Chain A
């Protein structure tokens, strides 16, 4: 009986789906850690590539901390994750102006990963919940005037790093299961 139990346990472990598998591609290896410095990028959308494994948006820069008139590629999450963050394909169109708070690629190629995105005159919206968590833990989030990620509440905070997790816990922003509570309880 014990052997049967053990075999069933091993089979169950072997069949556990891929939630624990590493991400298909490690953005932090290319853009730095979630808490690393960002730059401001302004531009006009030329083309939207709304597809997996990553959506991409081609822009011609118009300002910010990069020279105007350059051609840059914004890359971001897969479609499903973008939607969980609250973005939709219809939010982006050629000709729209965009402002980004973004990470520059470590190899100095014209690629960027947005920490937050503003389209035309809309709000600056978060594109990375773990950085929201880090900024909340450091007490600077509200000053950034960024709309938090749509999936921030209820998220596992582990990828924000142990320091952020500890601070969030001390701030009473983690529930009994260790998941993020946002907005903060009054």
Chain B
């Protein structure tokens, strides 16, 4: 019985305090929000990110296995503010299970740019055509 009485008193006190805080501080909260929303540094920091897409390369990354094998890479955009993805994967003239082609995108560690790679592995005679696009943000 004593415990129930103490709980009821504590509950009532908390409720009164909460009501007073909410009622009295409402104006301050609104004023603070207004000031924050107009603060130049914050407006700059939290301005909306602008996303844009790059167009694909004019030319695909191509390796023609009837001429050469190996990797051909084309730089795309700086990897600092972008992510790139394959937009084209085309393998032509495959003649057997050993014909191996790869299209890939990766970051070139030297330049710090994304690059799209077309690879014809040794012993293959087919052709790989690869292309990529990128999503950049500022």
A45 CB to nearest chain B CB (Å): 12
On whether the beta carbons of B75 and A111 are closer than 8 Å, the reply is yes
A contact residues, range: 20 to 34
B contact residues, range: 20 to 34
CA distance A47 to B109 in the complex (A): 12
A73 — nearest CB in chain B belongs to which residue? B111
A53 — nearest CB in chain B belongs to which residue? B68
B67 — nearest CB in chain A belongs to which residue? A24
A15: interface (CB < 8 Å): no
Contacts of A47 in B (CB 8 A): 110
Contacts A25-B62, A58-B110, A110-B111 known; A73 to B68 CB distance under 8 Å?
A: no
Contacts of B68 in A (CB 8 A): 24, 52-53, 78
- Tell me if A's interface is mostly helix, strand, loop or mixed: loop
Q: Say which residue of A24, A30, A71 sits within 8 Å of B58 (CB atoms).
A: A30
CA distance A58 to B111 in the complex (A): 9
On whether the beta carbons of A71 and B112 are closer than 8 Å, the reply is yes
CA distance A29 to B67 in the complex (A): 20
Contacts A54-B72, A107-B57, A110-B75 known; A24 to B111 CB distance under 8 Å?
A: no
On whether the beta carbons of B110 and A46 are closer than 8 Å, the reply is yes
Interface residues of B (CB under 8 A from A): 57-59, 61-64, 66-72, 74-77, 108, 110-113
